[in-house]
Chain A
Amino acid sequence: MSDVDLLLAQHEPPQDLRALDVVRRGIRRTPAVKRTMAFSAVISVATAAGRLAVPVLVQQVIDRGLLGDDGYRPGLVLTLSAATLALIVAVAVLNPLAEIAMVRSAQDALYELRRQAFAHIHRLSLAEHDRAQKGVLLARVTSDVETVSRFVEWGAITWAMNVSVIAGAFVVMAVYSWQLALVALATMLLTVPVIRWLQLRQVRSYDRVRTAIGGLLTVFHEILTGSDSIRSYGYEEAARGRVAEAVRRRYRADLDTAKYGATLFTVGDFIGAVALVAVALVAVEWGPGWGLASGAAVSFFFLVALVQSPIGEITEVLDQTQTAVAGWNKVLTLLETEPELPEVDDGADLPRGPLSVQTVDLIAGYDGTPVLHELSLAIPAGARVALVGETGSGKTTLARLLCRLMDPMHGAVLLGGVDLATVSSDARRRAVRLVPQDGFLFHATVAENIKYGHPGATDEEVSAALAALGLDRWVDGLVDGLHTDVGPRGEHLSVGERQLVALARAQVADPGLLVLDEATSSVDPETELALARALRRVAQGRTVISIAHRLSTAEQAELVLVFDRGRLVEQGTHAELVTRSGVYARLHRSWERATSST
């Protein structure tokens, strides 16, 4: 469903947040934001000056150039016009320079924010990765930052310019007549509660739109992924009905939102006209008494109009602003969550060679719920161990603990006598290696993927590792041998082949402890053979702990640890365990029934 979630992330509703708080936190993370704000300030002041120049010119020309005591003064009109012209040209030169500088510093900040978020996500524990949906983490470094980026490109400038135009207009109004300025201000302030009220409703209706789009996309996802079932069961008509119903819901939600959007934009405009009338009436009634000039009164009309359109423009970018603040907040919140597994500075080293494993009264789990209870075990260095048990028995949790993909709630994991939680990340990665079930590979060649196992590994070392595992023939059989492109996530190779590469990757790193999660999905016989051989050979000279999905693995192990509902219930060799009437014997029986009953 991650496809649907990903698309849905683009329709995320804006949230009500304290914008200033978010900005303050944002500055702390990426100080370049401060530079961005400084340049915005320059732009806004320049723009405001430019826009205000025209109404001031009109006033000056009327009052002093036309209706003054000397009548028409062409010289003055020309001088005033030239001065205004000079000002707006200066603004036109200054503004783009400041804007480019602003965009540059903003992009610097966004680049840094993306990097920090990306690095932070890789610091999160596996459990945290599992808890967050994949699409959500991806959104943090993509669409969430994009919302901020779009805002910087458009919304931020709109805010900066319009706020200062509004402020500037009121300042000029106040210079002409503070009384009239107050009248205009009082009337225009009426827009604020009205807009807030409408906007609150709009945000709520956005929520409904998002739900409706989610429903629609789910239905589309169904008809795409379930096409075989739908056709073979003749479900087409019913499916059409589901599409139609989901579309209808989306339409109703869309229309509802449009109602608020349509009204919202006109509020500033209409109240502006009311302000115009109020100003005119007050000016006519009391203006002459206050010694107001007619030109000043007329320029009020332009000044009020000048405020009208910025209010409209700000209303237009309100949504975008909220989305951007919400997006920014999400990224910042991510950065502010401490990862569950902090790495230790100057951590301890681990001994070379095979590692012994010891745990005492280990308790571990997820979200405070233990799934592994009071586990005490001792595995000698160089042993070959199989973990056996049903799904949810705790064997995967133990494997994760051994690689420090999670920390225990109580107790400790000792490798070669050293507490794993105190070991430096470098030492741990050198000495402990996990070969996961799905064998994820990076989009690169086979050789590169193997080299990732051990930074600085040479081609010779890669070949030697493959030869040691008896995989040289398999590699030669690939299209481009070692240089075969494995495709995104390694998808050009089969699951079994991906595990082969993962084993070679482990071999080249020469770890003292190897934790294997066997693949469960069916593997073709040839790869199966290669895998079995490679597994045998990779075990030489190191401790190997396998999560066994095949009893053959358990049969060959030196020690079998049997888990049941989070407890280690039995341990011993296959031969010992199979004769006891315990969990292992039961598992073994059901396996036999499945494969050889008559």
Chain B
Amino acid sequence: MAHDQRADERQLIRRGLRLARSYVRAHPVPFAVAVVGSVAMAVGTVLSAVMLGWLTDDLILPAFEGTEARRSRTTVVVAVLAVAALRSAGVVVRRYFAGMTVFRCRNDLQVELGDHYLALPADELRVAPKGRLLAHADSDVHVATDMISPLPFTIGVVTLLGFSVVSLGFVDWVLMLVALALMPLVAGLNHFNAEAAKGPAVAVREAVARVSSVASESFDGALVVKTLGRENAELERFSDEAAILRRESVRLGRVRALFAAALDLLPDIGVVTLVALGAWRVANGHMTTGQLVQAVALFTILVFPMRVIGYFFGDMPPGVVAYDRLAAILARPRANRQGRDELDGEAPLSVDVSDLVVRYGDSLAVDGVTLHVEPGEVVALVGPTGSGKSTLLTALVDMVPTAAGSVAIGDRPLGDIAPSALARRTAIAWQQPFLLDASIRENISFGGAFTDAEIEEAARHARFHQVACDLPEGYDTRVGERGVRLSGGQRQRLALARALVRHPGLLLLDDAVSAVDPVTEEQILDESRALGSTMLVVAHRRSTILLADRVILMSNGRVVATGTHEELLDIPAYASLLEAYEREAAAT
């Protein structure tokens, strides 16, 4: 077990390094600049220890002890400030450009993810957990790219390590040996620290998630909690999870405290050893006092790089895991829609469906439907919930994979029609309209090039024009989640205007005006009808059904009957369904 884990760990590190390399290849310039800055910082840091030596030997001791100075006071002051400037500039350049590298990698991933989300098959996205996909674009992208951020620093710091060891060697080889002996100890301790903290850290994260989900459910049910008087029971449930979180947090804190102390202790022991040994070397004439000061300074510098290297390798596994989650999404096959045929003209389109089968998992949503709709015909689809009406409409616009059978629009097989042509000549509106966080104008034109007059005309047909005019900025009013909120019926009418402005040859309405009052619904449908599109309408109201030339009754994914409303009234299933709709109909 332990062995497997370690192998996994090594594997993760290897993949992390590969990932880091791909990030660097994508944005070599800012990364290289960050490394230059980092090396400048490293050189500056080592030199600043050397500067302490100069200050001691060339300024302090000559003044206090009367020893001879090798350098002028001005030289030393300028050198000290120059070194400090070099170091600071290095840090600024490293931080800024390391940030730029990370942000650019983030851009790439977010753009790629957005592109992929837009290309995934519609049916897959329909059932996908939206919250999680959204989190991928935010937190996972952050974690996956953040891992590159300490790399320039790490490279600089490795340089620093080399420099300090070498400089220490120049100062005194005995002291260098002491430093070299300590390094693997510090590295080992860092490694153990990361190992020991991993388990508790995961436990804390999980406990946080549980606390959050209990609270989320509880607040969602605030009304029920109140009316049942379950506040105390809910508090107990929440406290249990909060207590687990407390226990795990304390455990994590314990591990951290113990290792932090050990990590502080080791270098301090080293320094004390160094001072004791160094005093003896100075006394025997092997080195000067200034060199001892410099050695102590260099030695304190040494500890730091070890920690930074630890951070880099510590950040890597979560980064790789987050990237894996993104890669898994990006590897999902994109929708493959290869049709090239155009749908010409402005004329209404015919619909031909034969033996169509659509599966959702094990169940058959559409089970062998055959139907023909003439150009310009208006057809109502009627049937109980789950009878396959919506799925059938979705299949007509090529948004759900079909298991068998065929669909033709305007006498062309659906698979041969170019997606762009299909989008231009057909329009579908749903019960739950989708609004962009943008102006009303943009929401109606929705990517198409329409004049203001055309947009207003469509809005008039959809009975939305007055709503738009009453808003503070008219058609420029921003609607959607962060803009002005519209009522359910207003949203539906806006989405309908989006469909009508296109003068589609085939208009599909899936309960698209359910939140509009019956009188307005009648007017809207009358006008839509007058535009001359072929229409398939999922209907629940008698008044809607009566507008259709023909009614198709569906049940369990099959067409049960087709004919005019009067003809179907003889079928008991139809009659009882209509009665149920009436019972349900809203009083308002």
Contact = CB atoms under 8 A, between A and B. Distances in A.
Contacts of A467: none
Interface stretch (A81-89, A415-423, A533-541): A81-89
Interface string A439-453: 011110000000011
A204 interface: no
A333 interface: no
A50 B581 contact: no
B55 interface: yes
A122 B253 contact: no
Interface in B252-304: 252-254, 256-258, 260-262, 264-265, 268-269, 271-273, 275-276, 279-280, 282-283, 289, 292-293, 296-297
Interface stretch (B5-13, B15-23, B102-110, B174-182): B102-110
A440 B541 contact: no
A549 interface: yes
21 contacts: A3-B130, A7-B139, A50-B264, A54-B272, A77-B280, A88-B268, A92-B261, A99-B261, A108-B246, A137-B219, A222-B434, A226-B436, A232-B426, A425-B229, A452-B233, A453-B228, A523-B584, A549-B587, A590-B517, A596-B542, A597-B546
B540 interface: yes
A199 interface: no
Contacts of A247: 107, 110-111, 114
Q: Which of A107, A217, A524 has the largest number of chain B CB atoms within 10 A? A: A107
A266 B436 CA distance: 44
Contacts of A489: 217, 220-221
Interface string B391-403: 0001001010000
A261 B93 CA distance: 11
B275 A81 contact: yes
Those 8 A-B pairs whose CB atoms lie nearest each other, nearest first: A234-B423, A273-B84, A103-B253, A72-B283, A243-B114, A258-B99, A262-B95, A594-B518
A478 interface: no
A23 interface: no
Given A96-B257, A96-B260, A594 B543 contact: yes
B164 to A, nearest CB: 15
B416 interface: no
A594 B576 CA distance: 16
B138 to A, nearest CB: 5
Contacts of A62: 289, 292-293
Interface string A545-583: 000111110100000000000000000000000000000
Nearest to A157: B260
Nearest to B49: A305
Contacts of A452: 228, 230, 233
B481 A1 contact: yes
Contacts of B26: none
Nearest to B230: A452
Interface in B107-144: 107, 110-111, 113-115, 117-120, 122, 125-126, 128, 130-131, 133-135, 137-139
B1 interface: no
Contacts of A551: 585, 587
A57 B275 contact: yes
A185 B300 CA distance: 23
B220 A134 contact: yes
B496 interface: no
B41 to A, nearest CB: 9
Contact of A280 (B55, B385, B518, B582): B55
Contact of B434 (A3, A228, A523): A228
Nearest to B268: A88
Contacts of B446: 229, 233, 235, 238
A382 interface: no
A488 interface: yes
Given A7-B135, A122-B226, A523-B584, A233 B427 contact: yes
Interface in A512-538: 520, 522-525, 528
Interface string B30-65: 000000000000000000100010011001110111
B272 A81 contact: yes
A445 to B, nearest CB: 15
Q: Which of B114, B384, B517 has the largest number of chain A CB atoms within 10 A? A: B114
A284 B74 CA distance: 13
A149 B542 CA distance: 60
Contacts of A12: none
B482 interface: yes
A275 B289 CA distance: 22
Interface in B197-217: 208, 211-212, 215-217
Given A232-B399, A261-B99, A595-B582, A61 B223 contact: no
Interface in A251-279: 251, 254-255, 258-259, 261-263, 265-266, 269-270, 272-274, 276-277
Contact of A50 (B52, B100, B268, B279): B268
A111 B241 CA distance: 10
A343 B296 CA distance: 68
A224 B280 CA distance: 72
B419 interface: yes
Contacts of B83: 273
Contacts of A232: 397, 399, 423, 426-428
Contacts of B428: 228, 232
Interface residues of A, number: 163
Contact of B246 (A111, A433, A443): A111
Contact of B218 (A61, A122, A239, A528): A122
Contacts of B131: 3, 6
Nearest to B386: A524
Given A240-B114, A433-B227, 19 more contacts: A7-B134, A58-B275, A62-B292, A103-B257, A126-B223, A141-B211, A141-B238, A149-B249, A233-B427, A233-B498, A235-B423, A250-B106, A261-B99, A273-B81, A274-B84, A280-B55, A281-B73, A405-B226, A426-B229
A284 B543 contact: no
Q: Which of B125, B260, B384, B495 has the largest number of chain A CB atoms within 10 A? A: B125
A274 B235 CA distance: 57
A7 to B, nearest CB: 5
Contacts of A380: none
A3 B134 contact: yes
B60 A99 contact: no
Contact of B126 (A227, A237, A240, A591): A227
A474 interface: no
B59 to A, nearest CB: 5
A390 interface: yes
Interface in A7-55: 7, 10, 47, 50, 53-54
Interface in A384-425: 388-391, 403, 405, 425
Interface in B323-339: 335
A11 B257 CA distance: 28
B392 to A, nearest CB: 14
Contacts of A218: 437, 480-482
Contacts of B215: 118, 138, 141-142
Given A58-B293, A88-B269, A270-B84, A254 B103 contact: yes
